[in-house]
């Protein structure tokens, strides 16, 4: 069957042409830790779209890891490397123990969450509220790094509440830098710990990329990765002229096929560029889903992450609706995904036929 052409995912903008700050940084392109979203099934799906992206788990709190289902929290597919575990906590000994567990399980990095503004984590002294206590964060960093050989990194905001001056940010980073931390992932918005919801804290406080650029100038030996407001791969090229990496979050979840551009645009030369098609990605994910299903994983736990695969395409709404209505059934198998793929091929063929009929002879 003749397939319609896919949209072009190539670009003339190569790492050489863009004069990026550091083309070999392991943190050049990262996919953000997102609660209830970036689980191992989601990350496997993302890895199908990009071989180069650095992946992050959902935040796991230290009590959950120490006293809970450790195997579940530390589970990942080998294909996910490089993979980082994000921890939430403020007890240095507990964080060190969890970092040790992560390294033993094969994680490539442990990231400390100092950016989440939700009330729930604040009550447990987790997340953005830790920016008010840089000495405590430094103590936690030192405890973790002393137990492992993999990098310990910190994800944080540019400020919190009224403690949001540039000097406050530099004091926080410098305190950690003096403790030995060299990798900082900076969400380029401040956080209001009271008065704004976590969603509002991702949207209402204005972005300030320039402040992050100046942070890099102040700490040139540190690896600085920027997060916030990056909704297209094309948006990443400007920050990469100033910084060591970028981190993309919800945009990649809602429209995952944008990740098909990552390896070509940010890592490859034109000769190395590869063409990626949605249908082939779905076929690969179906194979994964059958394997996971045989291990007792419900289809919905996997299929919910791929609803946006055909976003903006002919039949994309049908694909999303079909999965939403059928994959959640208790007896659903990956056959549902196979049927969804067949439906998309029909939609694509019809679109091709309509386009051909409208072409002047």
pLDDT, residue 48, reads 98
Supply 227's token pair.
């997060």
Q: Which residues of the chain are modeled with pLDDT < 70?
A: 1-23, 120-123, 269-271, 359-361
pLDDT, residue 359, reads 65
Q: Phi and psi at residue 186, in whole multiples of 5°?
A: -115, 115
CA–CA separation, 110 vs 327, rounded Å?
A: 33
pLDDT, residue 211, reads 98
Classify the C-alpha dihedral 178-184-190-193 as positive or negative.
negative
pLDDT, residue 21, reads 45
Q: List Cβ neighbours of 248 (8 Å cut-off, separation of 6 or more).
A: 29, 30, 31, 32, 227, 230, 231, 236
Q: Among residues 189, 157, 191, which one has the least CA distance to residue 173? A: 157
DSSP state of 342: H
Please indicate whether residue 116 is annotated as part of the active site.
yes
Distance of CA 325 to the CA centre of its chain: 27
pTM value > 0.85: yes
Distance of CA 198 to the CA centre of its chain: 17
pLDDT, residue 292, reads 98
Q: List Cβ neighbours of 58 (8 Å cut-off, separation of 6 or more).
A: 33, 34, 35, 36, 37, 38, 39, 86
Determine which one of 30, 42, 98, 116 is catalytic. 116
CB-based contact 244:217 (threshold 8 Å) = no
């Amino acid at each position: 069957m003749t397939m319609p052409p896919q949209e072009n995912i190539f670009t003339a903008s190569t790492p050489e042409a863009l004069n990026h700050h550091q083309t070999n940084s392991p943190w050049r392109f990262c996919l953000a830790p997102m609660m209830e979203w970036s689980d191992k099934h989601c990350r496997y799906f993302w890895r199908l779209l990009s071989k180069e992206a650095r992946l992050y788990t959902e935040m796991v709190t230290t009590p959950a890891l120490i006293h809970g289902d450790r195997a579940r929290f530390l589970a990942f597919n080998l294909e996910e490397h490089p993979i980082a575990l994000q921890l939430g906590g403020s007890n240095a000994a507990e964080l060190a123990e969890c970092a040790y567990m992560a390294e033993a399980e094969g994680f490539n990095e442990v990231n400390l969450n100092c950016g989440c503004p939700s009330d729930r984590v604040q009550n447990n002294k987790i997340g953005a509220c830790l920016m008010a206590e840089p000495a405590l964060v430094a103590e936690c960093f030192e405890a973790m790094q002393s137990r492992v050989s993999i990098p310990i990194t910190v994800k944080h905001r540019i400020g919190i509440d009224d403690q949001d001056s540039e000097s406050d940010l530099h004091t926080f980073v410098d305190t950690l830098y003096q403790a030995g931390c060299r990798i900082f992932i900076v969400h380029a918005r401040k956080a209001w710990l009271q008065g704004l919801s976590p969603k509002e804290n991702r949207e209402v406080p204005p972005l300030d990329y320039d402040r992050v650029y100046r942070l890099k100038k102040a700490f040139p030996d540190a690896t600085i990765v920027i997060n916030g407001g990056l909704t297209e791969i094309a948006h990443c090229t400007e920050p990469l002229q100033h910084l060591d990496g970028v981190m993309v979050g919800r945009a990649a979840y809602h429209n995952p096929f944008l990740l098909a551009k990552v390896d070509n645009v940010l890592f490859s030369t034109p000769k190395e560029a590869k063409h990626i098609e949605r249908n082939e990605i779905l076929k690969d994910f179906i194979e994964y889903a059958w394997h996971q299903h045989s291990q007792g994983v419900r289809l919905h736990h996997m299929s919910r992450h791929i609803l946006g695969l055909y976003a903006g395409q002919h039949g994309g709404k049908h694909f999303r609706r079909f999965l939403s209505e059928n994959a959640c059934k208790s007896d659903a198998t990956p056959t549902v995904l196979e049927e969804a793929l067949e439906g998309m091929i029909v939609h694509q063929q019809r679109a091709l036929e309509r386009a051909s009929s409208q072409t002047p002879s």
